Amino acid sequence: MKRTLTLFAALVLLAVGAAAQKLSYQAVVRNSANELVYDATVSVSLQILAADGVTVQYAETQSATTNQNGLLTLIIGEHPTGTYSLSNVNWTDASIKTEITLPTGDVVTNIMPVTAVPYALYADGTGGNLNQVQSDWTETNSASKAYIQNKPTIPTAVSQLTNDVNYITVNQVPTSISHYTNDAHYITINDVPAQVQSDWAETNTASKAYIQNKPAIPAVPAWAMEPNKPVYNYTEIQGAPTSNSVFINDEHYITINDVPAQVQSDWAETNTASKAYIQNKPAIPDVPAWAMEPNKPVYNYTEIQGAPTSNSVFINDEHYITINDVPAQVNADWNATSGPAQILNKPTIPVVPTNVSAFNNDAGYITANQVPASISYYTNDANYITINQVPTNITYYTNDAGYLTRDSIVALQQTVNYLVTLVNSLNMRMTQEQFTVTAGQTVFNLQYAPKSDCIIRCYVNGVMVGGNHNGVLEINANNAQQVIYDASFNRNYTLKANDKVTIVYWY
């Protein structure tokens, strides 16, 4: 479903100085029933159209989350489609077209003319015509726009020659100069003799190429100069044995002479020094005749000592229990934590409220937690703006046709003052604090103590995950300015280092 979006939108320049290619965009989102779409993630497809309303000068698509008032805030310029760039936009008579896809699948479409052109982008593009102040080299007033900051110093000592090629500069004047008034016969750098290469074959001791104290190089026999190690035949090895085993490798083998003569063991031998003596002989017991029978002995029931006389009527009562095996029954105890009296899988009993509705049917009624802190006194405040929608940047041009006038701002400011007075009279203020999470952090210290009967909202990396109403946040019972994050109420998401946590609350 598509419908026209009723919104209060603003384009705000994000940087000062050189034109920043980013804009802030805000809109209030409503569904087909004219209801605010709040705390919801939506997909926004945005186009900046030329003056003909057809040509697309810039396009991008991104996701964003509306706040509790249905306000959508995003930055234009961070997610361009293809090669689009804000630097190529001609803002003259341009318009912005948005298509917002709601969680229900409905698509909200809106086309809004850009009447308040971001002045830095406008001036940076083809539509700018701002009056510039001419810079003046002689201007000495630093507050003047014509004043030139960081002017370079112009040298006064300049060569008068029109061509000073081959002249030396002050940097070329030598610093090491002879102090002798007469340095005749002294040597210059040109008088230093050239170095001579040493020569191993030079034998003239007076020559600069002669090498003194040369080491003697020993004569190396020809066989030692071969590239491979020498190989010997067995016959070339001095002192090699001549009586060898027929085995190729007889290491650890013994000869026939090494084998001792075997002696037969004798059960009757009693001499412990004899090789026939059997050490640690076992004692052989006397076995009675009945135990020597080939078959196991058979007993009658009456021959079994201690056999029970009170028997089960079952032919096979294996695994059955007797009356003595039945444990004594124990009454269950709600407070027992172990033993047979403990109740397993006990259900959690909810806290019974003491203030109970007197209505037989209170379906559709709101609770105390659902009453908004700031309430409009108008019977119909559709299309009225909230305090978050009041602009802070006001034009001061003498001709601002199509722009907000001072009279409109005064009337709007009176409304804002009234709303501020109303909020202050309720002795409640809303604030938000942002934290950068450290590893393992779950506790956050707030600047103020939240109101006990107000909802605290928690955003993780820009996405609302709940608050004290659904267990994600819990106020520390021992410190009213401290809240504790519980991952079990946020799909077991454990906060990671550098996550951004924003906490919004009334105090």
CATH code (residue 107): 2.60.40.2150
**Residue 429, both tokens:** 């203020």
Alpha helix stretches (DSSP H) within 361-405: none
Is position 463 within any domain?
A: yes
> What phi, psi does 464 have (nearest 5°)?
-75, 130
Q: How far apart are the first and last CA of the chain?
A: 40
Highest mean pLDDT, choosing among 103-112, 149-158, 227-236: 103-112
Of 93, 124, 155, which one is at a domain's C-terminal end? 124
Determine the pLDDT at residue 62. 93
Total number of domains in the chain: 2
Between 371 and 459, the more confident residue is 459
Determine the pLDDT at residue 124. 53
Is position 209 within any domain?
A: no
Determine the pLDDT at residue 59. 95
pLDDT at 14 over 50: no
Nearest residue to 60 (alpha-carbon basis) of 42, 77, 41, 43 = 77
Between 195 and 478, the more confident residue is 478
Average pLDDT over residues 105-118: 80
pLDDT band at 9 (very low <50, low <70, confident <90, very high): very low
Is position 364 within any domain?
A: no
In order, the DSSP letters of 75-116 are: EETSSB-TT--GGG---TT-EEEEEEE-TTS-EEEEEEE--S
Q: 214-223, 329-338, 413-422, 473-482: lowest mean pLDDT where? A: 413-422
pLDDT band at 102 (very low <50, low <70, confident <90, very high): very high
Determine the pLDDT at residue 404. 55
For 121, other C-beta atoms within 10 Å of its C-beta total 22
Highest mean pLDDT, choosing among 52-56, 121-125, 208-212, 373-377: 52-56
Q: Name the pTM for this structure.
A: 0.27
Average pLDDT over residues 66-79: 90
For 111, other C-beta atoms within 10 Å of its C-beta total 13
Determine the pLDDT at residue 99. 92
Average pLDDT over residues 37-42: 93
pLDDT at 197 over 70: yes
Of 124, 150, 182, which one is at a domain's C-terminal end? 124
Instruction: Count Cβ atoms within 10 A of the Cβ of residue 181 and give its class: 0-12 exposed, 13-18 middle, 19 or more buried.
Output: exposed
Q: 107-121, 432-446, 493-507: lowest mean pLDDT where? A: 107-121
Is position 29 within any domain?
A: yes
Is position 45 within any domain?
A: yes
Distance CA 185, CA 221 (A): 58
Share of the chain above pLDDT 70, in %: 73
Q: 74-83, 95-104, 286-295, 429-438: lowest mean pLDDT where? A: 286-295
- If you compute the radius of gyration of the chain from its CA atoms, what whole number of angstroms results? 52
In order, the DSSP letters of 292-304 are: GSSS-----GGGS
Between 175 and 109, the more confident residue is 109
Is position 383 within any domain?
A: no
Of 86, 109, 124, which one is at a domain's C-terminal end? 124
Paired residues of 11 in beta bridges: 25
For residue range 271-289, what is the model confidence (pLDDT) as tens digits?
988 887 888 878 777 778 7
pLDDT band at 8 (very low <50, low <70, confident <90, very high): very low
Distance CA 287, CA 38 (A): 98
Average pLDDT over residues 434-460: 91
**Residue 315, both tokens:** 């032919």
Is position 269 within any domain?
A: no
Determine the pLDDT at residue 329. 76
- Residue 444, domain extent: 430-506
For residue range 113-128, what is the model confidence (pLDDT) as tens digits?
887 555 555 555 544 4
Highest mean pLDDT, choosing among 228-237, 337-346, 408-417: 337-346
For residue range 390-443, what is the model confidence (pLDDT) as tens digits?
566 655 556 666 655 566 666 667 776 766 666 665 667 888 999 999 999 999
For residue range 22-38, what is the model confidence (pLDDT) as tens digits?
888 888 999 888 899 99
For residue range 152-196, what is the model confidence (pLDDT) as tens digits?
888 777 777 777 777 777 777 777 777 777 777 777 777 767 777
pLDDT at 377 over 90: no
**Residue 299, both tokens:** 């007993």
Average pLDDT over residues 42-49: 93
Determine the pLDDT at residue 18. 38
Place of tokens 């940087």: 15
Is position 15 within any domain?
A: yes
Place of tokens 């083998």: 253
Determine the pLDDT at residue 229. 79
